[in-house]
Structure 1
Amino acid sequence: MIEKLAEQLVNLTVKQVNELTVFLKNKYGIEPSNSFLEGKPVDSLEEKKISEKEEKNIFNIVLKSSGNSKLSVVKLVKEITGKGLKESKDLVDTIPVIIKKSVEKKEAENLKNQFENIGAEIELK
């Protein structure tokens, strides 16, 4: 009996599937789930991880700590932002602070490495 039902379901046309969906919804309150992706069940946590990976191509660079070499960090902030020396120092003095917004992943990682090489702590958000 189950095999026959499965065979009938597999052989339904798109129109018949739509009609079955409406019937099940109206008669029994059953609505289709969107938890299937390309015929494979997808865990909602896994779906969330996939979407987070896809979304994170743009980052804000946040200075968390200037470390031991504050002057070097100020100079690097000045170079990156194009601000003056005083403005760059003021930024570094207001930690945590966003140094640069909307930076592509490759550039963000490069800048993070530059800051970490001089002892600063950076977070990519």
Structure 2
Amino acid sequence: MALDNEAIISQLKEASILELNDLVKAIEEEFGVSAAAPVAAAAAGAGDAAAEKDSYTVELTEAGQEKVKVIKAVREITGLGLKDAKGLVDAAPSAIKEDITEDEANKIKAQLEEVGATITLK
């Protein structure tokens, strides 16, 4: 039985990440193998479905126990005044910074988590 490689590749390119994940699980179960390393390569080669995100939003989900420290950190990150920074923290979930790089988003996330905040990157 000959496989139609082009048709299979075309279908993989059009599949969502969730569909690819389900496919990998089904193959692993059917053949008793593990595709741990190839999964990342397959997802990366899946075309537009695995395209990297180029802008991020840092969202404060919860201020946590150290609200004053979170407000100070938000002021430092955003350059807002005390009243505006407090308003952002009180309004959680709220966007702290939008349309930034992944590195900058991760840096801000770490800075806010260090003072007890819960952060989501979008």
What band does the TM-score fall into relative to the shorter chain? Answer: 0.5 to 0.7
Q: Distance in 2 between matches of 1:60 and 1:86?
A: 22
Partner amino acid for 1:115? L
Describe the shift of the 1:90–1:69 C-alpha distance in structure 2 as closer, same or farther (beyond 3 A): same
Unaligned runs of at least 5 residues, structure 2: 1-6, 21-42
> Which residue of structure 2 lines up, in the alignment, with residue 117 of structure 1?
114
CA contact 2:16–2:49 (8 Å) conserved in 1 = no
Q: Distance in 2 between matches of 1:123 and 1:77?
A: 14
Given the alignment, which residue of 85, 88, 99 partners 2:85?
88
Q: What TM-score comes out, normalization by structure 2 length?
A: 0.63
Describe the shift of the 1:102–1:71 C-alpha distance in structure 2 as closer, same or farther (beyond 3 A): same
What is the Cα deviation at residue 103 of structure 1? 1.0
> Which residue of structure 2 lines up, in the alignment, with residue 42 of structure 1?
12
Partner of 2:16, secondary structure, is: helix
Q: Distance in 2 between matches of 1:52 and 1:70?
A: 39
What is the Cα deviation at residue 53 of structure 1? 4.2
Q: How many residues align?
A: 90
CA RMSD of aligned residues (A): 2.5
Q: Going by fraction, where is strand more abundant, 1 or 2?
A: 1
Q: Distance in 1 between matches of 2:60 and 2:49?
A: 23
> Which residue of structure 2 lines up, in the alignment, with residue 102 of structure 1?
99
Q: Distance in 2 between matches of 1:73 and 1:57?
A: 26
Deviations 1:32-83 (A, max 9, x none): x7x635xxx6261359865354241210010000111001110111111111
Q: Distance in 2 between matches of 1:55 and 1:45?
A: 14
Describe the shift of the 1:106–1:45 C-alpha distance in structure 2 as closer, same or farther (beyond 3 A): same
- Sequence identity percentage: 37
Larger radius of gyration, structure 1 or 2? Answer: 1
Partner of 1:88, secondary structure, is: helix
